[in-house]
């Protein structure tokens, strides 16, 4: 194969060899530019935009969490005669949220999971629950496949916070 290429190259005049050399050099530059440089530049821009968006979402969620922490923890009745799991399920339905899992852990404690919820809707619902005497003991939120949404697991408890 190399012999055939060497023979082919030797059959070309010096002028043709120069023209082919320039053509291959330009072809290599075009391939490097459009095949490597531009895609990497685009990927870097997209990554920066995603980072900025994620940072903004993180700041908004942290601000909402700080607001929730600042709320008074005095129970205002909050369906004290109703079992906690029933009360939380009803209030989630009224808020337009779908509980993926709701497990009671005694009368005044339960674990919930929500597959996909917008952070604003989640924190509005949780602040309403806290105003009614149901507090968040632990909560874990992760980005869900739906853009701008999170999946949440939380433990809720009825009663005053510490």
**In the numeric block, which tokens belong to residue 118?**
């917008």
pLDDT, tens digit, for every residue of 54-100? 999 999 999 888 888 887 665 445 556 788 888 999 999 998 899 99
pLDDT in the model for residue 83? 86
Q: 3-class secondary structure for 56-79?
A: HHHHHHHHHHHHHHHCCCCCCCCC
pTM (predicted TM-score): 0.51
CA distance 153 to 139: 6
**What's the confidence (pLDDT) of residue 54?**
94
Contacts of 111 by beta carbon, 8 Å cutoff, 6+ apart: 101, 102, 103, 105, 153, 154, 155, 156
Tell me what pLDDT residue 160 has: 61
- What pLDDT was estimated at residue 162? 45
Taking only the tens of pLDDT, the chain with its 162 residues reads: 899 999 999 999 999 999 999 999 999 999 999 999 999 999 999 999 999 999 999 999 998 888 888 876 654 455 567 888 889 999 999 988 999 999 988 888 999 999 999 999 999 999 999 988 899 999 999 998 888 899 999 999 987 654
- What is the predicted pLDDT for the residue at 35? 94
Q: How far apart are the first and last CA of the chain?
A: 81
């Amino acid at each position: 194969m190399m012999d055939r290429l060497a023979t082919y190259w030797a059959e070309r005049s010096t002028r043709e060899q120069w023209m082919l050399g320039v053509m291959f050099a330009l072809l290599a530059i075009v391939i490097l530019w459009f095949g490597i440089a531009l895609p990497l530049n685009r990927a870097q821009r997209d990554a920066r935009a995603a980072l900025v968006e994620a940072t903004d979402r993180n700041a908004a969620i942290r601000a909402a969490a700080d607001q929730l922490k600042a709320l008074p923890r005095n129970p205002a009745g909050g369906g004290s005669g109703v079992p906690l799991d029933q009360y939380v399920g009803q209030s989630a339905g009224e808020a337009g949220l779908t509980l993926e899992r709701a497990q009671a852990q005694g009368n005044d404690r339960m674990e919930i999971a929500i597959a996909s919820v917008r952070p604003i809707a989640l924190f509005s619902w949780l602040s309403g629950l806290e105003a009614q005497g149901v507090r968040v003991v632990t909560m874990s939120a992760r980005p869900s496949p739906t853009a701008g949404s999170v999946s949440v697991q939380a433990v809720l408890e009825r009663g005053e916070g510490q």
